[in-house]
Each structure stands twice: as structure tokens, then as C-alpha cells.
Amino acid sequence: MKFFASIILIFISVGLWAQAPKYSNEFMNIGVGAQALGMSNSVVASAKGVTAGYWNPAGLVNTPKPFQVALMHSEYFAGLAKFDYGAFSSKIDSSSSFGFTLLRFGVDNIPNTTELIDNNGNINYDRITSFSAADYGFLFTYARKSKIEGLNYGANVKIIYRKVGSFAKAYGFGLDAGVQYKHNKWLFGAMARDITSTFNAWSYTLTDRVKEVFIQTGNEIPTNGLEITLPRLILGVNRMVTLTKKINFNAEVNFDATFDGMRNVLIKSNTLSIDPHVGIEFSYAGLFYIRGGVGNFQEVKDIYQNTDWTFQPNFGVGVKYKGVRLDYALTDIGDVSVGLYSNVFSLQFDINKLSQNNANTSQ
């Protein structure tokens, strides 16, 4: 309890004094793995294995096999933006594990029209080039079982690299920390993202021609600066239920707490905002999975200024066979009337060490 109280006090104090944008490094909050996305990202208490390096580093120590690999590709806004994820985890010993996670969110082939018109005012379409705007996240994870039965803890060292063509780039550094506790069939988890705040140092390289275009179009010329991502605390509770010998059920509710002022979420104040989301999963014989979830509650107004609430529904299925798991998730952007859905697929592989006996048998 002292740990959680200390973390909350740190987050509140940071939120009171820091001047930072609310939505810095938001690509790090999209979520990874179709299993979690199908459950509306409600996995901070139950995350285990390779994907826990992202969701809650404490769960990495529960890797069922010596090695695990996970891959995911998803597209947003009708394929305009692409999000890719890859991760690897390995057991160090029976009590500890380490992992590595790579994230990329990018928009490619963006037309660069700053050189479209030459100094004489002539339009030359051959002068149009293209560039990419991409964000990269690198997570180095360590997790360990504590001496208290059922309690695990872990941490991430986080490196951020963001690049906008040849115009701008940023390097960032931060830390995450997480704990998980299992008591009977209850799971409890806490994940502190950017616990020390994550700092992105931006630098810009703009030619005189680009600066001139900025001025003529009424845009502000950017200057080198520091962008801060403030801490976020995620709390979760999970309950596992055995319905029959082959059918299991688990449900989890998470609460994302931010301390950077009022956000458009279900529970909000001038200092603290809390975004709840819930997910469920049915499994059959450890082979087939059906998932659902709801989250991202937002208050919106229509053209007549009438207030209503929207939410993001999610659905997913999965299959696991001989250490290979294929998961699929269908997610909506938040308002079912819009109908912009993303199809997400992810793969996960369990890898055993080859013993000498197995090697001889395979020959």
C-alpha cells in the first residue's frame, strides 16, 4: 500500500507543476497484440509472457516457455497509417526474465510540395518528392519474482525516436514500472508509464526555401525544444472462473489515470482523469478463444449541441496450437455510427531449447 500511495503522490505532484502537452507520444498507448485489443486493452493485471513487456513488465516473468516471439501489424484510417510491433522474451532463470519490444507507427509516402514552385514562379510537378513521418519505441524489459508469494515486479527502459522526413527528429528517454499480485483466482496489477516523465528533445533542419514556404502560408517556423510526456497510472483487477473442465472465463477491468488536467473521459476533474475499460475472454480447452470489451467513453455534442456518450466496442478471436497462437481483433474508433473499423492480426510463438536428446531424435 505504501508503494501505491507513493506512486500516486508522485503523479499528482508532477501533474501540478509540469507544463506539457496532454497527448505526447500517444503512439505508445495504442496497444499491442490482438488478444489485448479484443479485450479493450484490459490486461494490465493478467498480461503474461512476451506481450507483458508492453502491458506490464511484471508479467514477463510468467513466460511459459524459455523463449517467446510476438508480431503484429495493423492499419488505421483506411490504411493511411501503419502500426507494427515485434517483441522477444527469454527466461534468465526460474525467477527472472528479460525482453525487448519494438514499436513503429508511421505515415509513409507523404508528398513534399515545398519545392513545387521554383524561384521564378513556375510549377514543376517533377520537383515533388515524398517523405515519411514515423515514431519508434524501443523497450528493454526486466522482470522478477519477489520473495512474497504471488508478487512480481518489473521495469522498462524506454527509448523514443521520432522522425519527420529530413525536417525534424527527436530522441526521448523514459522509464516504466509495474507490479502484479495473484491471490487465489484474483489477479491485481499496476502499471506506471513514464514514471519519471519521458523527455523528447526535438531538433529541426529546415532549408531557407522551406522556411519561406512556412512564412508565405502563415505557418510558424518551429524551433528546437523539449517535449515532456507526463506519467500515467493504470490499475487492473482480473477474475478467473472455471465454468467446466474445458471452458474457462476471465474478466478484467482497468482504470487509466492521468494527472495532466481534465480529459474527455468518463471520470474527470481539473487534476485527475480516469478512463475505465473492461474486457472478457472465454477459452475452450486452451485452444480456442472468444473475446470482447468496451472502453474509450467520451462525451460528445451533435450539431444541435445535444450531449451524448460514445464508446469503443471491441471483438476478438484466437486459436493456439503447439506453441503457435494466432489472434484477430476487430476494433471501432469509438462511435459505431462512423463505422471505421481496424482489422488487427498478431502472431505469437513459444520456443523451447533443443536438448541433445531432441536433436538426436530429429536426425
The string of pLDDT tens digits covering residues 124-145 is: 888 788 889 999 999 999 999 9
The string of pLDDT tens digits covering residues 276-289 is: 999 999 999 999 99
The string of pLDDT tens digits covering residues 294-316 is: 999 988 887 888 888 888 899 99
Classify 121 in phi/psi space as left (phi over 0), alpha (psi -120 to 50) or beta.
left
| Torsion over CA: 109, 112, 117, 119 (sign) | negative
What is the band of 260 on the pLDDT scale with cuts at 50, 70, 90?
Answer: confident
Q: Give SS3 for 7.
A: helix
pLDDT score recorded for residue 70: 97
What is the band of 248 on the pLDDT scale with cuts at 50, 70, 90?
Answer: very high
275, 255 in Cβ contact below 8 A?
yes
* Mean pLDDT (whole number) for 40-46: 96
What is the band of 251 on the pLDDT scale with cuts at 50, 70, 90?
Answer: very high
pLDDT score recorded for residue 218: 81
Per-residue pLDDT for 7 more than 70? no
In the chain, what are the domains? 2-362 (2.40.160.40)
What's the whole-number average pLDDT of the chain? 86
Report the predicted TM-score, pTM, of the whole model to 2 decimal places: 0.84
Share of the chain above pLDDT 90, in %: 58
pLDDT score recorded for residue 119: 72
Share of the chain above pLDDT 70, in %: 89
What HEC string does 88-135 produce?
EEEEEECCEEEEEEEEEEEEEEEEECCCCECCCCCECHHHCEEEEEEE
* Mean pLDDT (whole number) for 343-363: 67
Per-residue pLDDT for 167 more than 70? yes
pLDDT score recorded for residue 162: 95
Classify 20 in phi/psi space as left (phi over 0), alpha (psi -120 to 50) or beta.
beta
For the chain, how big is the Rg over CA atoms in Å?
23
For 29-89, give the DSSP string: GS--SHHHHHTTT--TTT--GGGHHHH-GGGGGG-SSSEEEEEEEEEETTTTEEEEEEEEE
What is the band of 220 on the pLDDT scale with cuts at 50, 70, 90?
Answer: confident
Cβ neighbours of residue 104 under 8 Å, at least 6 residues apart? Answer: 82, 83, 84, 85, 134, 135, 136, 137
Classify 163 in phi/psi space as left (phi over 0), alpha (psi -120 to 50) or beta.
beta
pLDDT score recorded for residue 333: 56
pLDDT score recorded for residue 10: 37
* Mean pLDDT (whole number) for 58-65: 91
Residue 229 Cα to chain centre, angstroms: 14
Q: How many residues are listed for the chain in this entry?
A: 363
pLDDT score recorded for residue 20: 54
In single-letter form, the type of residue at position 91 comes to K
Per-residue pLDDT for 329 more than 90? yes
Q: Please give the grid coordinates belonging to residue 112.
A: 513534399
Q: How many whole angstroms separate alpha carbon 98 and alpha carbon 357?
A: 27
Residue with cell 503512439: 27
Q: How many whole angstroms separate alpha carbon 220 and alpha carbon 296?
A: 33
The string of pLDDT tens digits covering residues 187-217 is: 999 999 999 899 899 999 888 877 877 787 7
